Structure 1
Amino acid sequence: MRVKERQYKLLEEKKIDHEGLRSLFDEDQLVVFRELRDEWVVARVRFFRGLTLSRESSTETVNLECEAIEFDGKSFRCRVHQPRVAKFTGTKNITELEVYPLSYHSDRLELIRGSIESGRWRQLCNQLVTQDGTRRPAATVMQYVGYCEMSGMRVERRGIEEGRNEIDTGREISGRVIVDPTKFPARKILFTKHNVDPFAPTGKPEGDPLENDPLLLCPTKVLVYSLSDNAWYYVAMRKLENPTWVDNAWKRLVKPGSKFADKSIERIRLLAKAHADIDRSRQMDGSFDNFRGKGKGLTFLLHGPPGVGKTMLAECLRGAREAAIQT
C-alpha cells in the first residue's frame, strides 16, 4: 500500500520512478515523443512491454507499442511505433522521459492543434494521384525551409564515404523539393497486419473531440527529394508549402543585344506557350495516353560558354510552366 501511495504522490507532482512506469501508461492512451528534432509524434498505445534488453545499446528499456497513421504510397494505413524508455534510477520529471502521456505535455492544446495541422498531409496525399481515374501516385513540387534529416540510405552512404560509424544526419535546407509517393514503400516502416481505414468512424464519441480526431495521428515528417542537394531527406510536414513562382518571368529576362538571340528566345517562349496550351487542352477533354507522361515532354538543348544565360533561360521556362528544375 505504501508503494501505491508513493506512486500516486509522485504522479501528483508530475514525477515518476522506474517502478512506476507501468502505472503511467494505459492501453488506448495518447502519448508523445520526439521525432525530427523539433517535431512531436502523437500515437495511441496498444501494448505495454516490461523491462527488456535492447540489442542496439545493450541497455534495459521499457517498450511501448503504439499506432499512428501513415501513407504507404497508395492508401492510408495504421503504422507501428515502438518508443522506449531507458531504465533509470531515482525519480524523473514525466516530461523528461523519452515518451510520455499527452496529458502531461506543458502545452497540450497547442501541440494538438499543431498535430492536426500536420494532418493536412491527408489532403496532400489525396492530391498525389493522377486525375485520370487510375489513382496512380504522382509527384508534386513543394517549397521547404527548415531542418531535415537524411534518409537511411543516404546516411549509410555518407558514413561509408567519410569512414565514420556515427555521423550527424541533420541539417538546414531551403528550396524546392519533390514529394514522390512512389518512393514511400522503400521506407523501413512497420505497418499493422489489419488493413482498415484509419479515418473510418470508430463509434466512440466519448472523450475530448480533439483527441479523437484521426488527423492528430498523422505523420509529422515526410520523405522528399531536394532538388538543390540531389538527395532524399525527411522534413517536417507542417513546414511544406506550395511553391511560389515568378510572374512574367520572360519580361524579367535580360536579353543580349543581338537580333538572332532575341528571335531564338522568342521562339523558345512561343514553343513553351504552345506546349502548355496543348497540355491544358488534354486535361480538359480527358484524353490521356495509356502510358503516363508519354509525348508530353518538351526538350531544349541550350549550348554556350559560362555566363551567357543558359540557366537563367531554364529558370524562365520553369516559371512559365510552374515546374521544377533539377541542376
Structure 2
Amino acid sequence: MKTVKIALLGLGTVGSGVKNILEEKKDQLSQKLFEKTGEKKVIEIKKILVRNTDKDYGVDKAILTDDYAQIINDPQIQIVVELIGGQEPASKYMEQAIEAGKHVVTANKMAIAMSGGSIEDKAREKGVSFMYEASVAGTIPVIRVIEDSLVANEIQKISGIINGTTNYILSKMMNENQSFESALKKAQELGFAEADPTSDVEGYDAMYKIAILSKLAFNIMPDLNDIKRTGIRGVSISDINKARENANTIKFIAQAEKCRDGVRVSVSPLEISKDHSLANVDGAMNAVYITCDNAGEIMLQGAGAGSRPTASAVVSDIFAIAEKL
C-alpha cells in the first residue's frame, strides 16, 4: 500500500471539514484511486499546522505543529493543503512549499488573485501541481470545466453569482421584503456571513474570484484596481420594489467579458430579468454562466460556501494529485 502523505495548514471551518472527509471517506478514496491507477494508495494526514498545539482539536496531538519548517523539511509530505486564508503568511507558505518541491492545494482566493498569477507560475517552473478548485465557487467544478471540458472553445463571457452571503441577503430582500440590515443579521445568525461582513457585502470576495476566472478563461489576470466593484449595502427596499414592478430581480453579479481592448471585469448588484437562468438561484447557492463559441451557453450551479461543500472541492484536488503520484 502506497501512502500519500499530506499536511494541512489550518484547522478552522474548512480545514476541519477536509480532515473529517478524508477520515470518513478513506476507504472509498483508496478504492477509487485503485480503480483509476491500478495501485493501492491511501491518503494520510501527517502534519497539521496550528497556532496553539496545546489546544484540543479532537485529533492526535502528535500530528499537530506550530512550526512550518517541520512540514517544509519533511521529504515524506508530498502535498501541502493551505487553508489558513488571507494573503500572508498564506502566500509565503505556498511559495515555500512549491520551492521545496511539494504540490499545493488551496481554497485561498485572495492570495491567488493578489499574487497576479505568480504562485501558479512558480509551480509551473518547479514542475509541481497548484490546484485551487475550492477558491472560486465551492462545490461547482468550474475550474475543471474551463481547463478541461471547454478546451475546444473560445470563452466570450463569464458571469455568475459567486458569493453565497450576498445572494442569501438579496434573496431575503427580494422574496421576503426584508431590509438589508435584517437580512444581514439573519445571514450572520446562520453562519453565512462573518461578524465583519465587509469582504462579502462590499464585493471584495467576488472580485478575487472573478479575477481568477478571468485569468483561466482569457489568460489575463486583471489588475484588481481596474475591476469595477460596487457592493450591496446601497441596495434598498425601494430598489427591490422597482425591480419587482419591472418583473425583474436584483442579483449580485460578477462578470468578465472579452472585448476589443481586452477584458472588462466588474462586480455589482444588477437588475436582471426573471427569465434569466441566474434569476432563480436563491439562498446561499452559487452559479456560473459561461458563454463560448462552440458549446454555446452553460450554467453550473451548486453550494458555494460552508465547511463541507468547500472541503469537498479541496479533497477533489487532493485526490487528483494523489492519482498522479
TM value normalised by structure 1: 0.24
Q: Which has the higher contact order (CA 8 A, sep 6+)?
A: 2
More helix as a share of residues: 2
TM value normalised by structure 2: 0.25
